Amino acid sequence: MKNLSHLLITALFFSFLFSTSVKAQDFDRLSNAKIEEQMIVPNYQFEYIPDFTYQEVAAKIKAMETDMPFELNEKIFAFINYFTVRNREYTKMVLQRQNLYFPLFEETLTDHEMPEDIKFLAIIESGLNPKAKSRVGAMGLWQFMPATGRMYSMNLNRDVDDRMDPELATEGAARYLKSLYRMFGDWELALAAYNCGPGNVRKAIKRSGGKKTFWGVYDYLPKETRSYVPQFQAMMYVLRHTEDHNLFLEQPTYPIAFEKIKFNQELDLEQLATVAGVCVEDLEFLNPSIQNRLVPATNLHMAIRVPKEKAELIAANKEQYAEAVKLTSERSDALRASNSTATPIKSVAVASSTTNSSAGQQQKVIYTVKSGDVLGTIATRNGTTVTKLKTWNNLRSNNIRVGQKLVIYKNQANFENTLAQNSGNAGPAPESYTVQPGDTLWLISKKLNGVTVDQLKKLNNLQSDQIKPGQKLKIS
């Protein structure tokens, strides 16, 4: 009888706990409640996610040491909830990639005497994916449009796109943001202008009656820009307080040490990898601006990043390699044909695709573990995360061995299907989504891993990106 009483009490407790969980469809109602009563109480099966209140987050933000201070409001809080509760997988992916690019960002921003926290902007722009491409053609870590990229000394052609070069793009972003700050005298407005253009910010200032703060002109900015700055500020908080939200880096991803070598000739990257004994994937990873594994005649003086451990060998034998790595017109055509794959669209988990771009059409790839590989590096090269690699391959730990075969899916939707099957709770996928306050089509595409903005617009016959809270969207 005593055990039965304990069981009943436990059941009642968990029933009450689950009934008070915050559901997505209740977000609109909760946002109108008194904020001091709002508590995030997530209900997740596989992972402990700590509770937190608005007041707790506000106090932590107030105590943050930053050159870009801000005060918490409901819009920023909603994105903190998004990054720490509703889409933790995205935040984990960012944690995995930050070691690759944050040192470069910090060094460049310091050189330009700019706030170090601007580094978090690249997370919102690209998810720290140097090959990210938006639906309107912006590219790289900092999402430069072609014309703006050229303004900041980035050249682009079908074989080499400097917007995807981490160093060149970061230098360009720093210079552009610095000029926007000089223009508006406010970092929040400079960030807004980076997103929607200085002309739109000037219009917003004029329509607001001359107010010169982001929140003062908020209602007059484009809808996407209204979400852009709060996302940035939410990420500033989240990456400073990952432990508070039980967000931990499962396995660090370390940069590949490299040196630059100029070959002063057209170059076949695959042949260079062969003669130098280098993994061609490493060369691609180090040189993301090279699109088709070749350097054309227009880029003869381009410096190639090679693994540091091979740099001395390659430099010493550069003349001997010259003929072997020489590019012919036939070889150029072959490389372009074999590498003409779809460039990934910016999304929650940016993944390179070698299939057609329609959702549900994914390619299963078998990867053979090489000497020196770790799950973190493999995940980063393939635009995925350690968690997904472990799920796809039923790995209980991060240990892998040379020669081991790993399954990798090149589209996010496969991960969701695999996870559902492994959990034993596979059910029918939801067919619709209810728009919540603060949502944009881009944000919704992030939540619905595997669905792009263009697909959402086609499914719902949308002529523009305008949506409103409460609107039902077809997602399948």
Q: What six digits make up the tokens of 166?
A: 């981490």
The CATH topology of domain 364-423 is: Membrane-bound Lytic Murein Transglycosylase D; Chain A (3.10.350)
User: Residue 156 has what pLDDT?
Assistant: 94
CATH of 432-474, one of 3.40.50.880, 3.10.350.10, 3.40.50.1950, 3.90.1150.10: 3.10.350.10
8 A C-beta contact, residue 138 and residue 144: yes
Q: How far apart are CA 193 and CA 181, in angstroms?
A: 9
Closest CA to 386 of 375, 396, 397, 400: 375
Of residues 38, 443, 72, the one with CA closest to residue 236: 72
What is the CA angle 358-339-126, rounded to 5?
Answer: 60
The pTM (predicted TM-score) of the whole model is 0.66
In the chain, which residues fall in CATH 3.10.350.10? 364-423, 432-474
List Cα–Cα distances, 326 to 270, 271, 294, 323, in angstroms.
11, 8, 10, 5
Q: How far apart, in whole angstroms, are the C-alpha atoms of residue 473 and residue 105?
A: 38
What's the whole-number average pLDDT of the chain? 81
Which long-range CB contacts under 8 A does 84-87 form with residues at least 24 apart? Answer: 84/49, 84/52, 84/238, 84/245, 84/247, 85/40, 85/42, 85/49, 86/24, 86/447, 87/348, 87/446, 87/447
pLDDT truncated to tens, each residue of the chain (476 aa)? 444 444 444 444 444 333 333 333 333 333 333 333 344 444 444 678 999 999 999 999 999 999 999 999 999 999 999 999 999 989 999 999 999 999 999 999 999 999 999 999 999 999 999 999 998 999 999 999 999 999 999 999 999 999 999 999 999 999 999 999 999 999 999 999 999 999 999 999 999 999 999 999 999 999 999 999 999 999 999 999 999 999 998 777 889 999 999 999 999 999 999 999 999 999 999 999 999 999 999 998 999 999 999 999 999 999 889 888 988 888 888 888 877 643 343 433 322 222 233 333 456 788 888 877 778 778 777 777 777 787 788 787 778 888 888 888 865 433 333 323 333 333 344 567 887 655 677 767 766 655 777 788 888 888 887 887 778 888 76
C-alpha triplet 429, 435, 436: angle, nearest 5°: 115
Which residues are CB-neighbours of 186 under 8 A, at least 6 positions away?
Answer: 212, 213, 214
Which tokens go with 41? Answer: 């109480």
HSE-up (13 A, CA, CB side) for residue 92: 20
| DSSP summary character for residue 85 | I
* DSSP string computed for 11-51: HHHHHHHHHTSPPGGGHHHHHTS-GGG-EE----SSS----
Rg (CA), the chain: 24
48: left (phi over 0), alpha (psi -120 to 50) or beta: beta
Q: Which residues are catalytic?
A: 125
Task: State the Cα angle at 344 between 412 and 432, rounded to 5°.
Answer: 45
Task: State the Cα–Cα distance between residues 419 and 425, nearest whole angstrom.
Answer: 9
